[in-house]
Amino acid sequence: MHRVQDVTDYMRDGGTATQEQLEAARREIHVQGHALRDALTAEASTAQRLAGLVDVAKELGRTSTVAGLADVVVGRGLAALDADGGAVAVLAPDGRSLEVVHAEAGGGRVPRTDTLDLHSPVPAAVAAASGDRLVLPDLTGHDARTDALLGDVASAACVAYPLRVHGRVLGSLTVGWRRPQRFTQRDLGLVAALTSLCAQTLDRIQTREREQRAVAAERALSEALQRSLLSEPPRLPGVDIAVRYWPSAEHAAVGGDWYDAFALTPGVLTVTVGDVTGHDRQAAAAMAQLRNVLRGVSVSLHGSPAATLTGLDRALRALSVEAVATALVAQLGPAPDARGMRRMRWSSAGHHPPLLLTPDGEARVLRTPPDLLLGVLPDVVRRDHEVELPSGSAVVLYTDGLVERRGRSLQDGFGWLTDTLRGRHDLSAEELCDLLLDAYDGAHEDDVAILVLRLDPGAGPVR
């Protein structure tokens, strides 16, 4: 019978409780009071642990590496469980081993990483291999096999849970204590909650790493293709030529920027820069087609830059090359008056104008109305422009990534270009290229191709 209730009913009915009954009732009240305090303490402890896990979840949301995941789970997650040690084990790509990070709760010891065979009897491997949790509450007097199961995570009790996401096991989480434990459903539920957080974070990190590896591989392939097509410029007496290609810092793949330089006849140099729209392998492939067709058209026509661009546009239409691009073709040859000057003729298909750096250090953009882009109307009228270049001059051709910046006007880009080159007429073509790339402020959002021509002031007139 319930002694307190019995005594209460008995006294209400007019009876007198004996001393023995009263003492028994007091003892039961005392026991019930302890039980109530224990229940309240357990509730408070659970609430505190849940709050700790909420903080762990926030930290995991900001984690982007497996090392950071292990640091948060072992350094903070174990503290929320009042645990003494733990290990995060990640299944290796070969599917036969685990990368295990050990640490003590509270981050008091530098984590140590081990490689563990998946068929090892260590709890981390057992949970990952079987896909089931392993609960070892009291290991006092354990045998040698159980000792092997524990490793150095804890000495008296541990649990190991598989890290499972969408039916796939990614590894395991092991939690250990230095004293035997009486695991309640609440205790194991908290461990399961931490395990779920850990598994979801690990899945997100691994997915992102796979995507980054795929992007890096595609970028490396595209960039290798593009660099293989951007050959070294020819060496000509009296003309210093330098080129640069700078891949974008933002896009996942390279684009269609190109440069080229070749001599069709003695004394006449043809140089081109261009940019196919897009940032992927298709853009790089289209760039290769345009560059090669442009060479063929130049050899066949021996025409002016405008005629060359018109022939290129018609050839692209006839060959069904689906590409839209800007391009600038320039020809450098002797001036007709034979004063030792050189003349540059150029035509622009929607491309940014060249920059002229004169022997006295003045820098100016050779602004002319640009004609229509390539790949739109093949029979559009195109125009030639020309300028005389004294010895010691330099001409800079470039793609839009050099002067177009997010949040700034194109006029600001041209201003930066002229300010950077003004007064640097004493530099070689190679040094001018390096100057432009070194002076670029901030992350470049697009690919950059640069071609610099510098006329040797010591060379005689072109014959």
Which residues does 217 contact at the CB level (< 8 Å), separation at least 6? Answer: none
Mean per-residue pLDDT, 18-47: 55
pLDDT at residue 313, as a whole number? 93
When comparing pLDDT for 378 and 109, which is higher? 378
pLDDT at residue 268, as a whole number? 84
Mean per-residue pLDDT, 23-41: 54
For residue 462, pLDDT beyond 50: no
pLDDT at residue 29, as a whole number? 57
Which residues does 344 contact at the CB level (< 8 Å), separation at least 6? Answer: 330, 331, 332, 354, 386, 387, 389, 395
Question: Which of 107-116, 233-242, 433-442 shows the lowest mean pLDDT across its residues?
Answer: 107-116
pLDDT at residue 321, as a whole number? 85
When comparing pLDDT for 51 and 318, which is higher? 318
State both tokens at 181.
């434990």
For residue 385, pLDDT beyond 90: yes
For residue 21, pLDDT beyond 80: no
pLDDT at residue 186, as a whole number? 85
Residue 31 pLDDT grade (very low, low, confident, very high; cuts 50, 70, 90): low
pLDDT at residue 104, as a whole number? 55
For residue 14, pLDDT beyond 80: no
Which residues on adjacent β-strands are paired with residue 260?
272
- Write the DSSP string, 396-431: EEE-GGGT--TTS-HHHHHHHHHHHHTT-TTS-HHH
Q: The pTM is what?
A: 0.58
What is the distance between the alpha carbons of residues 274 and 451, in angstroms, rounded to a whole number? 11
pLDDT at residue 17, as a whole number? 54
Residue 120 pLDDT grade (very low, low, confident, very high; cuts 50, 70, 90): confident
When comparing pLDDT for 182 and 26, which is higher? 182
Could you tell me which CATH number the domain at 63-229 has? 3.30.450.40
- Domain ranges in the chain are 1-62, 63-229, 230-455
Residue 311 pLDDT grade (very low, low, confident, very high; cuts 50, 70, 90): very high
Pairing verdict, β 385-389 and 342-349:
antiparallel
For residue 463, pLDDT beyond 50: no
Mean per-residue pLDDT, 78-83: 80
Over the stretch 183-219, which tens digit does the pLDDT of each residue have?
988 889 888 988 888 899 999 999 998 888 887 777 6
pLDDT at residue 75, as a whole number? 74
Residue 395 pLDDT grade (very low, low, confident, very high; cuts 50, 70, 90): very high
Over the stretch 355-369, which tens digit does the pLDDT of each residue have?
999 999 999 999 998
pLDDT, the chain, mean: 80
What is the distance between the alpha carbons of residues 461 and 449, in angstroms, rounded to a whole number? 30
Which residues does 37 contact at the CB level (< 8 Å), separation at least 6? Answer: none
Closest to 124 (Cα-Cα) out of 93, 100, 94? 100
pLDDT at residue 1, as a whole number? 43
Measured in degrees and rounded to the nearest 5, phi and psi for residue 358 equal: -85, 165
pLDDT at residue 91, as a whole number? 92
Over the stretch 35-66, which tens digit does the pLDDT of each residue have?
445 444 445 455 555 566 777 788 888 888 88
| In the chain, % of residues over pLDDT 70 | 75
Dihedral sign of CA atoms 14, 18, 22, 24 in order: negative
For residue 6, pLDDT beyond 80: no
When comparing pLDDT for 219 and 263, which is higher? 263
pLDDT at residue 344, as a whole number? 95
pLDDT at residue 384, as a whole number? 96
- Write the DSSP string, 214-271: HHHHHHHHHHHHHHHHSPPPPPBTTEEEEEEEE--SSSSS--EEEEEEEEEETTEEEE
What is the distance between the alpha carbons of residues 173 and 270, in angstroms, rounded to a whole number? 65
Could you tell me which CATH number the domain at 230-455 has? 3.60.40.10
Over the stretch 124-167, which tens digit does the pLDDT of each residue have?
899 999 999 999 998 776 655 555 555 556 568 889 999 999 99
Residue type, 75: G
When comparing pLDDT for 181 and 251, which is higher? 181
pLDDT at residue 9, as a whole number? 52
Same fold, 63-229 and 230-455: no
pLDDT at residue 368, as a whole number? 93
Residue 5 pLDDT grade (very low, low, confident, very high; cuts 50, 70, 90): low
Measured in degrees and rounded to the nearest 5, phi and psi for residue 336 equal: -65, -20
